[in-house]
Structure 1
Amino acid sequence: MYSDADAAALYDVLNPWDPDQRPEDRFYFPLVMGAESVLDVGCGTGAMLKLARERGHHGRLVGLDPDRAALDRARRRADVDWAEGTAADAKSGADFDLATMTGHAFQDLLTDHDVRASLTAVHGALRRGGCFVFETRHPQARAWEEWTSSNPDDVAEVVDDAGRALRYWHDVDSVIGDVVTIRGTVAEPDGTVLRVLSESLRFLDVAALNAFLADAGFEIEAQYGDWDREHLTSASREIITIARRG
């Protein structure tokens, strides 16, 4: 069997947190290091907060995620607080300086209720003037059209923590409105399937996203179309948002 623990470990192999090499990590990491208290919503295996601690962050670091297997890996580092739950479970009055939601985790919020409940909870977990920083893929780029085993850039050949050679790729099952449902397949090099991981992602446009933020009480401080902080344009692939609690 390819277990939940195996899948969590594979995530770290496929998505190494490295602000020295990856532009998205380089965007977030100075914000984390510059904040006294940080809530990482959808923290997964906790790579960002663990590296922050390793590089000298002495403040309060809390990771929140509903995936128990991912949190089991995160909890190998005991000097960060880890909590099981969704964004909507963020505790009001926690007075964080910064909340983050990296890795396009915001797109896992599939319904209007999910988005509203999550933004309200994150808003309540921040101190006045605190920031929520996150990204979502811009729907105009239609990223899902590249998620196919026929695209060599979407097929990853890796060796996992157990020394197994693996192949990983995506397929799109459906596009219904602004929700895209995909399958991630973990296989042996010969194509023998070990596990299929299903996920649905919502692609909100800028107007809809900003309306949700305003309704939750956030003021949009900045939005960018890429990790170099370029303005949103008709060619942008990302909607990277810095929203502040008033």
Structure 2
Amino acid sequence: MFTADDAAELYDLLNPWDAGLFPASRFYDELVMAADSVLDVGCGTGLMLHSAREHGHRGALTGLDPNPAALARARRRTDVEWTEATAAQARWERAFDLATMTSHAFQCLVSDEELRASLTAIRAALREGGRFAFETRHPQARAWERWSPPYARDIAGPDGRALRVGHRVDSVVGEVVTFTETTADAEGTVLYTDRESLRFLGAGPLNAFLAEAGFAIEAQYGDWHGGPLTADSTEIVTVAVRTG
């Protein structure tokens, strides 16, 4: 047996949050700890907001995610507000100083309609001058070309058994990459399968969507150390500000 709850716990093992070890965690932690109120869109299992509370954040922290298994794990902390919904379904008005989308969650906004609706809702949730921080993989790095077999990761699962997590790219259509992630046991028996599509937006189209939604670019980086966007950048790390 391997359930959605097991998958959520395994996600935390594969993607730990540690500002002392990982530049991405450090980048977001600095923004979160400096903001009085934070909305984490696509919060998943809630590790970033858990960390903020553990490190003394005393303001309002809210996590938003449509995955009930991930949120069940996030709700281990009751001093954070957790809401089950998509980004486009957010209904807050001028409630937050900072909104975030970490772990490439922004790329799950695949269609133009979903992207526009999500940006509109996120902007509405921010106070005037509020910031929206997120990252997306730079399409020029073609990260998906490294996601097909023999790519796999071996790890001890939540119950200690040996697991192998692998990916297979199913299609690349324009900016959208669809892939399947499988979790198998040591004998190769597939225990869990998840199929997902991600959108790889370049900086130009991305910034056009942000401007249309009422955001101005405060800063945009090509890596987690504040480096500029270049022909070698693998990330587009963006801090946008609500205007008007």
Identity %: 61
Deviation, 1:220, is 0.4
State the distance in 1 between where 2:189 and 2:22 align. 31
**Structure 2, unpaired ranges of 5+:** none
Deviation, 1:146, is 0.5
Q: Which amino acid aligns with 1:39?
A: L
Query: Which position in structure 2 is the counterpart of 1:206?
Result: 203
Query: Which position in structure 1 is the counterpart of 2:122?
Result: 122
Deviation, 1:95, is 2.1
Aligned pairs for 1:72-151 within 5 A: 72-151=72-151
Please, what TM-score do these two structures have when normalized by structure 1?
0.97
Number of residue pairs matched by the alignment: 243
Query: Which position in structure 2 is the counterpart of 1:28?
Result: 28
* 1:14-58 deviation line (CA, Å, top 9, x unaligned): 101111101111111110011000000000000000110011000
Q: Which amino acid aligns with 2:131?
A: C
Q: Secondary structure at the match of 1:77?
A: coil
Q: Which amino acid aligns with 1:48?
A: M
Deviation, 1:92, is 3.4
* 1:57-94 deviation line (CA, Å, top 9, x unaligned): 00000000000000000011100000000111222314
Deviation, 1:165, is 1.4
Aligned pairs for 1:162-181 within 5 A: 162-181=159-178
Please, what TM-score do these two structures have when normalized by structure 2?
0.98
Query: Which position in structure 1 is the counterpart of 2:188?
Result: 191
Deviation, 1:133, is 0.1
Query: Which position in structure 1 is the counterpart of 2:16?
Result: 16
State the distance in 2 between where 1:149 and 1:24 align. 26
Q: Which amino acid aligns with 2:217?
A: I
Deviation, 1:157, is 1.1
Q: Which of 194, 215, 218 lines up with 1:218 in the alignment?
A: 215
Q: Secondary structure at the match of 2:30?
A: helix
1:227 aligns with 2:215: no
State the distance in 2 between where 1:7 and 1:70 align. 9
**Structure 1, unpaired ranges of 5+:** none
Query: Which position in structure 2 is the counterpart of 1:159?
Result: 156
Question: What is the RMSD computed on CA atoms of the aligned residues?
Answer: 0.9
